[in-house]
Chains A and B, each alone.
Chain A
Amino acid sequence: MKRLAGRGRINQDRTISFTWDGRAMSAHPGDTVASVLLANGIRVLGSSVLMNRPRGVVTDTMSDPNAFGQIGTGESSEPLMRLTQVEVYEGLTAMSRIHKGVLPTGTDTGRFEKRHAHCDVLVAGAGPAGLAAALAAAEAGARVLLVDEHPHLGGSLLGEDVVIDDRPAHLWVAEVEQRLRDNPAVTILTRTTVFNVGDQGAIALMQRVSEHLPEAKRRGRALRRMWQVRTHELVVATGATERPLVFPNNDRPGVMLAAGVRGYLHRYGLVPERAVVFTTNDDAYRTVLDLINAGVDVTRVVDVRPDPQGWLPRRARELGVEVRGGSVVMDTTAAADGALAGVVVAPLGGGETELITCDVLAVSGGWDPLFDLHHYLGGTARWDEQLLAFVQDNVVAGQRVTGAAAGIFGTTACRRDGHLIGLVAAEATGFGSATSGPAAPEAADVTEQAPADFVRVAAVDGDESHSFVDHHRDVTMAGIERALNSGITNVEHLKRYTLVGTGTEQGRTAKVNAGRLAADHFDLDFHMIGVSNARPPSQPVTFGSFAGRALGARFDPVRTTAIHSWHVAHGAVFEDVGQWKRPWFFPQGTEDMDAAVLRECAAVREGVGMMDASTLGKIDLRGKDVGVFLDRLYTGTMGTLKVGRARYGVMCKADGMVFDDGVVLRVAEDNFVATTTTGGAAGVLDWMEDFLQTEWPDLDVWLTSVTEQWATVAVVGPQVRTVMSTLAPELDVTQDSFKFMQVEDAVVAGMPARVARISFSGELAFEINVPTTSGLAMWEAVFAAGEPYGITPYGTEAMHVLRAEKGYFIVGQETDGTVTPLDLGLDWMIADKEFVGRRSLRRTDMLREDRKQLVGILPVDPNDRLPEGAQLIETAEYEIPVAMIGHVTSSYESAAMGRTFGLALVRGGRSRIGETIYAPLLDRTVAVELVDPIIFDAEGTRRDG
């Protein structure tokens, strides 16, 4: 196409340059990549996805099935960008990648933001209907958010030569825009697309903030911003898209949609050398008239209708255009580069053919209202026999469709409908009254002649393998026929079988034709077949946009204890437990993890160790009924606990499966503190609150999470009493005065503390609890007091090994939501009283003898450490498939025992103690002996030191 001086909504006084496939291109501000390519004579954009056919720009909107490319280079390059939408800027690089992009590698350095907003009326689309709706709603008093994907308001008016109120349409647009911008309750978002509509008016928008600017001008601004809007009313004013026609070789570059051709004229000042127009309707004659007005040779209008007599065809004839009724384009010819060279015209139904030379064939098969947003919440459509198009059928609450999207065509009618819809939407949100609003503009559109119900020109030789229904997916009429002949009778199946309508552009030019051709094939009414459903997102949204700024350290909150800085300073390797960072182990010198853990374990068993236990969940319970409450939740009895004592407890969900465990301390008659697992703290609090609020609101119990208010230092090992005596000379820590599971308030290292004798290792141990603000000071004091005795800080891995030696299970490691207290051998913890889940423990399935039960395992080779998760089978020799009778839940090397060991869940395991079973691994099969879960210090003599 060629550029006409002084035409188009671009600034032809300024020239900018960018590259297309490495070639420098000259453009003007306001151009899109697509318009520049056309202006530079680049008709062939690339090759089609399957058939390698040359393809070019089809239209000027986001419905274009071919105009895609790779924008940018390197890590910020983006595939499958719409060239009809990408605005050119100085330095832009674009590459021909029309149907398959290249994913950038590395880290996307672009910034993406998110924003939330509320409004009364959100208007999607700023064409004549949307502008009228936004203005009416705003002037009725509603908060209005007006959204349009283009850089400028006006919608279809940007690509048309229309007069409104006796002046060019753009003056009307400017006036409405000014009135909207002057209204503080109106927000206008251009370059913004509604990509999803959710329940209760949840609208998702994607705004292109700075990506249309040269890099230097972005200056740290976000490339895009995702908006989450909550609106009372949604007005869908998203216009319509033109439908192509199916005929042999209808995909050659230069075959364009008629409205697209006049769009390129009015928006970018681009015209063909010589055009032919092929239509089923009057609207395409607007292209004829506009081209002639611009001095273009429109050689022929090929109209399917036998006798086009509307005012538009008559006007075209008056201007000397040869209008041929009852005829079709039955084929096209190509130039050397594969682009259009000419069209073969013939009477409909056969006869003399004529070859006409042209560089553009402007095609119109009618118009499809675009109301995808209506479909997202279950909106339905019906085929309108007069319009020959789908229109909205049902009403979706909180949504109104207007303008061309509602099947209302003509600028005046759209403005009138938009105005009324705007008033109604405002009224629905409590503003103004639809009936008493300002008078709507009168409808004054001139009637047009009915369009022809026509989709396809059959190939004379019957070969329809080049009659394209979907350019983007290379679906031809032959492909559609093949699918329908193979038994497909449903458009959703047709879509998935042929991929028709599944393109990045959502098949906007293909779907309706595919459905109509299927209906023709079966000789059914079209409404029996319909079209495949539109689904969000309405256009591709990058992962970066969803991530926004929640990247790296901002991805998830990080929780650290009061002692964290000490751990970091002392070289701890950290483990993530939920959001907590916990020291995993503290390597010394060149130690690897195994060596560090062995050393830490040995120190605890032989001397004294210390651990930061601050992350354990802590729930403070107060009230006179706390004992009753806890008795109903734990399998054991808590109400009988004496003040100053602690007790271990396990909780089940109603299904009887172990849910969490921990030690409960009674610190006063009406005050308990329940500890939970680190990861389970929030869930346990939720669970307790649920029962208190909904099942037992009569109980006097008050819950407070105090996890972050307390820091806990566990001091563990045979030499712990020496360390404690140094730290708290006033506190008698002898066995007689400070018994296991005793709780004392005491001054430790000069700080008030709550000290409890709780052990998760089987060793003599004290847990020192202090307010979080004293946590680091207490830790340092304990470390200093213990240093003469070689006190050893240890991490979660050593803790796990030590507890496993004692057969203590860990929720989430030995349990997985299918394990009951009985499976864990906790029969002794089931008190004779009702508690949540108790009834489940005598369901038939719970009584099965072959349930998986907790056992200890000792690999026969004491140096062989099994991987956790390894399956267990009966025999050393096996053939796949083989019955799995259990799995390894924990597996470690024990410093104390000088060998490897583990815990496992094995079918009927408790009755199989002493037997040998096998763990089949990729490289070996390991024999393991089943033993009691308490492998170390079975008598429990170490607990009291």
Chain B
Amino acid sequence: MFQIRCPYCGPRDEPEFKYGGQAHVAYPADPEQLSDEEWTRFLFVRDNSRGRYAERWNHAAGCRRWFNVIRDTGTHEMVGSYRSGERPEDAR
């Protein structure tokens, strides 16, 4: 069970949160301009890397805010979290 730092509420247990997949994958601004392949890549392809990974979490049973977490997928170290609009370098 992870302990995740909500940037608004502080550290809380994982069951309070909902996972939201890789961070910084924006919904394309103009999907109609994308080829099938580009659109498919947006829909289905995400990084699956070992090491530091930026991912989205929602404090669903708390403040209900979405934010981002840097987690080490190899060790499960929670490197830090940051709000929408902040940069990964701001994670703490």
A-to-B contact residues, CB < 8 Å: 198-202, 228, 230, 377-378, 397, 654-655, 686, 689-691, 693-695, 697, 834, 836, 838-840, 843-844
* Whole-angstrom CA separation of A689 from B34 in the bound complex: 26
Interface flags for B1-30 (1: CB within 8 Å of A; 0: not) read 111000000000100001010000011101
B18 — which chain A residues lie within 8 A by C-beta? 686
Which residues from chain A contact B78 at a C-beta distance below 8 Å? 199-200
Tell me whether A230 and B13 are in contact (CB under 8 A).
yes
Output the nearest chain B residue to A653 by Cβ-Cβ distance: B43
Can you add 4 more A-B contacts, CB < 8 Å, to A202-B2, A377-B75? A686-B18, A686-B58, A693-B66, A839-B28
Given contacts A199-B76, A839-B31, A840-B39, contact A693 B84 (CB under 8 A): yes
- State whether B43 touches A694 (Cβ < 8 A): no
The docked-state distance in angstroms from the alpha carbon of A843 to that of B42 is 13
Q: A693: which B residues are within 8 A, CB to CB?
A: 65-66, 84
CB distance from A907 to the nearest CB of B (A): 22
CB pair A839–B34 under 8 Å, yes or no, is: yes
Decide yes or no whether B40 CB sits under 8 A from chain A.
Answer: yes
B39–A199 CB distance below 8 A: no
- Nearest 6 CB-CB pairings of A with B: A839-B31, A200-B3, A199-B76, A202-B1, A693-B66, A198-B1
Verify A690–B3 contact, CB threshold 8 A: no
B1 engages A199 (CB within 8 Å) = yes
Given the known interface contacts A686-B18, A689-B64, A838-B31, the answer about A694 and B3 at a Cβ–Cβ threshold of 8 Å is: no
Interface membership of B47, Cβ < 8 A: no
- Which residue on B lies nearest to A682, using beta carbons? B60
B84 near A230 with CB under 8 A, answer: no
B90 at the interface (CB under 8 A from A): no
A201 and B3 form a contact (CB under 8 A): yes
Cα A201 to Cα B2 with chains together (Å) = 9
Q: Tell yes or no: B89 within 8 A of A by CB.
A: no
Pick 17 A–B contacts, CB within 8 A, sort by A.
A198-B2, A199-B3, A200-B3, A200-B78, A201-B3, A202-B1, A230-B3, A230-B13, A378-B75, A655-B43, A655-B44, A686-B58, A686-B60, A690-B20, A697-B85, A834-B32, A840-B39
Q: Which of A199, A378, A838, A843 contacts B40 (CB 8 A)?
A: A843
**Interface size band for B:** 20 to 34
Say yes or no: A694 contacts B1, CB within 8 Å: no
| Contact residue among B3, B39, B77 (Cβ-Cβ distance under 8 Å from A397) | B77
Residues of A within 8 A of B85 (CB): 697
A228/B1 in contact, CB under 8 A = yes
Residues of B within 8 A of A694 (CB): 56, 66, 84
A844 touching B36 by the CB < 8 A rule? yes
- For B60, the chain A residues whose CB sits under 8 A away are 686
Contacts of B20 in A (CB 8 A): 690
Please judge, given known A-B contacts A199-B3, A840-B39, whether A834 and B75 are in contact too, CB under 8 Å: no
Q: Return chain A residues, CB-CB under 8 Å to B76.
A: 199-200, 377
Question: Is A843 in contact with B39, judged by CB distance below 8 angstroms?
Answer: yes
B43 touches A840 (CB 8 A): yes
What separation, in Å, do the CA atoms of A836 and B43 have in the docked complex?
12
Q: How far is the CA of A201 from the CA of B18 in the complex (A)?
A: 20
Asked if B27 and A836 sit within 8 Å, CB to CB, the answer is yes
Chain B residues within an 8 Å CB radius of A836: 27
Chain A residues whose CB sits within 8 angstroms of the CB of B32 once the complex forms: 834, 838-839
Give chain B residues whose Cβ lies under 8 Å from the Cβ of A697: 84-85
Task: Tell me how far the C-beta of A460 lies from the nearest C-beta in chain B, rounded to whole angstroms.
Answer: 51
Complex Cα gap A835–B1 (Å): 37
CA distance A693 to B42 in the complex (A): 19
Greatest chain B CB density within 10 A among A198, A836, A839 is at A839
Write the nearest CB–CB distance from A43 to chain B, whole angstroms: 45
What A residues does B3 contact at CB under 8 A? 199-202, 230
Q: Are A654 and B1 in contact (CB under 8 A)?
A: no
On chain A, the residues within 8 Å of B66 by CB distance are: 689-690, 693-694
* Inter-chain contacts of A844 with B (CB < 8 A): 36
Nearest residue in A to B18 (C-beta to C-beta)? A686
CB within 8 Å of A: which B32-61 residues: 32, 34, 36, 39-40, 42-44, 56, 58, 60
**Which chain B residues border A198 with CB–CB below 8 Å?**
1-2
Neighbouring B residues of A838 by C-beta, 8 Å:
31-32
User: What is the distance, in angstroms, from A273's C-beta to the closest C-beta of chain B?
Assistant: 52
Shortest Cβ distance from residue A429 to the other chain B in the assembled complex, whole angstroms: 14
> Roughly how many angstroms separate A748 CA and B18 CA in the complex, as a whole number?
42
Q: How far is the CB of B30 from chain A (nearest CB, A)?
A: 8
Give, as a whole number of angstroms, the nearest-CB distance from A836 to chain B.
Answer: 7
User: Using an 8 Å CB-CB cutoff, how does the interface string of B66-92 with A read, 1 for contact, 0 for none?
Assistant: 100000000111100000110000000
Which residues on B sit within 8 Å (CB–CB) of A840? 39, 43
B42 shortest CB reach to chain A, Å:
8
| CA of A497 to CA of B76, assembled, Å | 32
B64 x A839 contact (CB < 8 A): no
* A378 contacts across to B, CB distance below 8 A: 75
In the complex, A377→B72 CA distance in Å? 13
Residues of A with C-beta under 8 A to B77: 397
Q: What residue in chain B is nearest A203 (Cβ atoms)?
A: B1
* Contact call B36/A843, Cβ cutoff below 8 A: yes
Say yes or no: A397 contacts B43, CB within 8 Å.
Answer: no
Q: Whole-angstrom distance between the alpha carbons of A686 and B76 in the complex?
A: 26
CB B17 to nearest CB in A, in angstroms, measures 12
Determine the residue in chain A with the shortest Cβ distance to B44: A655
Complex CA–CA separation, A690 to B26 (angstroms):
12
Residue in chain A with minimal CB distance to B26: A695
Residues in A whose Cβ lies below 8 Å from that of B1: 198-200, 202, 228
Cα distance, A616 to B53, chains bound together (Å):
38
Shortest C-beta distance, B51 to chain A (Å), equals: 14
CA distance A199 to B76 in the complex (A): 7
Q: Give every chain B residue within 8 A of A695 (Cβ-Cβ).
A: 26-27
The docked-state distance in angstroms from the alpha carbon of A834 to that of B28 is 11
- Tell me, rounded to whole Å, the shortest Cβ–Cβ distance linking B65 to chain A: 7
Q: Which A residue's beta carbon lies closest to that of B56?
A: A694
In the complex, A691→B66 CA distance in Å? 10
A397 to B64, CA, bound (A): 30
Residues from chain A with Cβ under 8 Å of B64 in the complex:
689
Shortest CB-to-CB span from A701 to chain B, Å, is 14
Task: Kindly identify which residue among B27, B58, B75, B84 contacts A654, using a CB–CB cutoff of 8 Å.
Answer: B27
Specify which chain A residues have a CB less than 8 angstroms from the CB of B42 in the assembled complex: 654
Q: How far is the CB of B92 from chain A (nearest CB, A)?
A: 15
A689 to B67 Cα, complex, angstroms: 12
Report A470 CB to chain B, min CB distance, Å: 32
Q: Nearest-CB distance from A444 to chain B (Å)? A: 39
Name the B residues within 8 Å of A690 (CB-CB): 20, 58, 66
Known contacts A397-B77, A695-B27, A839-B32; decide if A200 and B39 are in contact (CB<8 Å): no
Q: A230 to B3, alpha carbons, bound, how many Å? A: 9
- A200, B65: Cβ atoms closer than 8 Å: no
Tell me the bound Cα distance from A694 to B40 in angstroms.
21
Give bound CA distance, A795 to B66, whole Å.
38
For A378, the closest partner residue in chain B by CB is B75
Q: In this complex, what residue of B is CB-closest to A838?
A: B31
Q: How far is the CA of A834 from the CA of B27 in the complex (A)?
A: 12
A399 → chain B, closest Cβ, in Å?
A: 12
Pick from A200, A201, A228, A654: contact of B43, CB under 8 Å: A654
Collect the chain A residues with CB atoms within 8 Å of residue B2's CB: 198-200, 202
